[in-house]
C-alpha cells in the first residue's frame, strides 16, 4: 500500500479528515475488504501503542474455528474443572464484605473479646501488636492505581508492598513521590507509612501518616486510623488512644465505629 494511502488511514483514525472526506473513505472501506483489513490493523496497533482497549472482533477463519470447537469440547470442560479444583485447594478465600456482615462482625468481636479475656486471665498483656493484628484489615488499604495514568512505577511499588518486600516498595514509592511533587495521590502515604512500620521505623512511619492527615484528601482521616494502628504495633498504647480519640471526635471520620470499639479495648 502506498504512503499516501497509509497517511489517509492515519488521518481517518485521528479524525483529521473533513466530514465529507471521512464519509467517502468509509464507503471505500465498506467496498474494499483489503482496505478494511488495513484500517482494522492500523486501529488495533494504535490501541496497542496507546495502551487502550478497542472493540473486539473475532474473524471467521480456521484458527478461530478450532478454538470454538475446543472451547465447546468435553476436554475443555475437564481443563476448567481441573483449574477450579486447584482453586478450591488453594488457601480459603476471604469472604466478601466480611465486616459488613453483622453475624460475622459479632462473631469476630466475640472471638476478639475471648482472646483478650484469655490473654488477661493467663497473666499476659492485652498487647498493642495483638490489637493491631486484630484490627488491621487489608481492605482498608486504599487502591491507588488507576488506568490511563502513568502508573507503572506505582504499580510495581504496590506489588512489592503486597509481596511484603517493604524496602524495595519504599524505594519505588519514594521515587514516585519525588517525581510527582505537584500531583501526589495522598493515599500513597498509607503504603509508605505501613512499609516503614513493617521495617520497624517508628518515627518515619508516623510522619508518613501525618502527611496524609495533613493533606487535603477527602479521606485524610484514614491517616488517623493507620497512625493509631501503627502506634499499637509499636506498643504505644497511650499515644494510640490519643489518636483514636481525635478520630472519634467526628462521626464522618474513617472507621468511626471500629475506632470506638478499639478505644473500648484500650
Interacting residues toward other proteins by CB under 8 A: 3, 6-7, 10, 37, 40-42, 44-46, 48-53, 56, 58-59, 61-64, 66-68, 70-72, 76, 78-80, 82-87, 89-90, 93-94, 96, 138, 143-147, 150, 155, 158-159, 162-163
Instruction: Rank residues 41 and 110 by Cβ distance to other proteins and give the closer one.
Output: 41
503486597: which residue's cell?
162
Contacts of residues 50-59 at CB distance under 8 Å and 24 or more positions apart, as own/partner, are 51/148, 52/148
Q: How far is the CB of 234 from other proteins (least distance, A)?
A: 26
Q: How far is the CB of 50 from other proteins (least distance, A)?
A: 4
Please check whether residue 211 is in contact with residue 104, taking contact to mean a CB–CB distance below 8 angstroms.
no
Instruction: Rank residues 141 and 217 by Cβ distance to other proteins and give the closer one.
Output: 141
Q: How far is the CB of 20 from other proteins (least distance, A)?
A: 24
What ranges in 50-151 are assigned the alpha helix state H? 62-71, 74-89, 102-121, 128-135
* Spatial distance between the Cα atoms of 136 and 233, rounded to a whole number of angstroms: 10
* Spatial distance between the Cα atoms of 112 and 131, rounded to a whole number of angstroms: 9
Instruction: Rank residues 50 and 249 by Cβ distance to other proteins and give the closer one.
Output: 50
Taking residue 51's Cβ as centre, other Cβ atoms within 10 Å add up to 10
Instruction: Rank residues 176 and 234 by Cβ distance to other proteins and give the closer one.
Output: 176
490489637: which residue's cell?
131
Q: How far is the CB of 215 from other proteins (least distance, A)?
A: 20
Q: How far is the CB of 33 from other proteins (least distance, A)?
A: 10
Amino acid at each position: 500500500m502506498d504512503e499516501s494511502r497509509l497517511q489517509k488511514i492515519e488521518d481517518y483514525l485521528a479524525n483529521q479528515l473533513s466530514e465529507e472526506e471521512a464519509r467517502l473513505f468509509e464507503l471505500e472501506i465498506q467496498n474494499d475488504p483489503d482496505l478494511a483489513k488495513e484500517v482494522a490493523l492500523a486501529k488495533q496497533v494504535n490501541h496497542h501503542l496507546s495502551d487502550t482497549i478497542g472493540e473486539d472482533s473475532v474473524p471467521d477463519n480456521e484458527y478461530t474455528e478450532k478454538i470454538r470447537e475446543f472451547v465447546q469440547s468435553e476436554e475443555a470442560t475437564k481443563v476448567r474443572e481441573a483449574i477450579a479444583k486447584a482453586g478450591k485447594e488453594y488457601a480459603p478465600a476471604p469472604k466478601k464484605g466480611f465486616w459488613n456482615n453483622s453475624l460475622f462482625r459479632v462473631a469476630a468481636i466475640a472471638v476478639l473479646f475471648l482472646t483478650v479475656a484469655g490473654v488477661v486471665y493467663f497473666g499476659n498483656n492485652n498487647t498493642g501488636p495483638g490489637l493491631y493484628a486484630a484490627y488491621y484489615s487489608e481492605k482498608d488499604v486504599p487502591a491507588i492505581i488507576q488506568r490511563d495514568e502513568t502508573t507503572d512505577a506505582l504499580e510495581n511499588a504496590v506489588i512489592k508492598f503486597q509481596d511484603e518486600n517493604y524496602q524495595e516498595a519504599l524505594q519505588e514509592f519514594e521515587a514516585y513521590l519525588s517525581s510527582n511533587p505537584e500531583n501526589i495521590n495522598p493515599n500513597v502515604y498509607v503504603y509508605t507509612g505501613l512499609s516503614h512500620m513493617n521495617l520497624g521505623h517508628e518515627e518515619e512511619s508516623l510522619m508518613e501518616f501525618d502527611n496524609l492527615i495533613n493533606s487535603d484528601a477527602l479521606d485524610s482521616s484514614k491517616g488517623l486510623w493507620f497512625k493509631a494502628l501503627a502506634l499499637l504495633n509499636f506498643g504505644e498504647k497511650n499515644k494510640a488512644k490519643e489518636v483514636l480519640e481525635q478520630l472519634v471526635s467526628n462521626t464522618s471520620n474513617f472507621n468511626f465505629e471500629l475506632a470506638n470499639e478499639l478505644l473500648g479495648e484500650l
